[in-house]
Amino acid sequence: MKTVLSSEKKTVEIGTGSPFVIIGEKINPTGRKKMAAALQAGDFDYIRELALSQAAAGADVLDVNVGVPGLDDVALMGQVVHLLNECVDAPLCLDSPNPKALEAGLQAAPRKPLVNSVTGEKERLEQVLPLVKDRGAAVIGLIMDDGGIPATPESRLAVAEKILERAVQLGIPAGDVVIDPLVMSVGADSQAGIVTLETIRLIREKLGANINLGASNVSHGLPDRPVINMAFLALAIGAGATCAITDPVKMTAIIRASDLLLGRDEYAMRYIKAFRQAQKLQAQSQA
């Protein structure tokens, strides 16, 4: 299955036949005080810099979350989407729990963005899927529903099936639904990683859907988080994941290496290009 996203200047294809797609996670104030302060102060230069640095480090798509308590997330989403559309080529991933903010983002974003996210919850399905359908966007389906996050790979598959079914009923192409199998921290639950990896395998086998990861959550509360995130990305790509919301500065190298090892990078060209770019960025940051 293929999911195609686009901005005015760039088309990104998500699928097992393509390189793994990197969705830059940093335009999000959750747990990032500097970003929250920038949104509060209307400091768009800071947001522009973050966008440019993520694109330079290998982000194919940029996630956009503007949720800060007390701020008008609907107005901000429209403004930030316009800003990003001017300064980077990457298609956008509109990230909000507020359907009104998603709607504002969908109005402001050109071509075909990704919506982050719908879940299997009744209300969420009813609020978000029509927006996605009307706008011809793609959507991330998070595997949770009114019963919470299912414990086993089989029960997670059932929620993924429900989300896909509802989307297709509404007229959204199945290929435009990217499933996110959810991962909890292995610091809190030693089985959290394997359950998510098995869910990825099951969804690829049974549904063939594209699979996204919120990859940084897996290491919450543990030391040396990047090494856990790297291992998780490699394992998840091996199991069939096709895109991730992650930090391109730290994770592009392991992702390009995984693609290479899985036979998806002829002559190692993308791997070597990413290595040279990382060297260039490092030299610039030290200059």
Residues that bind its own copies (CB under 8 A): 186-187, 190-191, 193-195, 197, 218, 222-224, 227-228, 230-232, 234-235, 237-239, 253-254, 257-258, 260-263, 265-268, 271-272, 275
52 versus 194: smaller Cβ distance to its own copies: 194
133 versus 264: smaller Cβ distance to its own copies: 264
Helix residue spans in the chain (DSSP H):
33-41, 44-56, 73-87, 99-108, 122-135, 153-170, 192-206, 225-239, 248-261, 269-286
Q: In what order do the strands lie in the sheet with 92-95?
A: 177-180, 138-142, 114-119, 92-95, 61-64, 21-24, 243-246, 212-214
168 versus 268: smaller Cβ distance to its own copies: 268
Residue 245 CB, nearest distance to its own copies (Å)? 18
Please name which of 141, 99, 100, 98 lies closest in space to residue 117, comparing C-alpha atoms.
Answer: 141
Residue 264 CB, nearest distance to its own copies (Å)? 8
106 versus 237: smaller Cβ distance to its own copies: 237
C-alpha span between 83 and 80 (Å, rounded): 5
Please name which of 137, 151, 54 lies closest in space to residue 102, comparing C-alpha atoms.
Answer: 137
Residue 78 CB, nearest distance to its own copies (Å)? 39
Residue 229 CB, nearest distance to its own copies (Å)? 9
94 versus 218: smaller Cβ distance to its own copies: 218
C-alpha span between 97 and 221 (Å, rounded): 24
Tell me which residue has tokens 């730290």: 250
Residue 50 CB, nearest distance to its own copies (Å)? 24
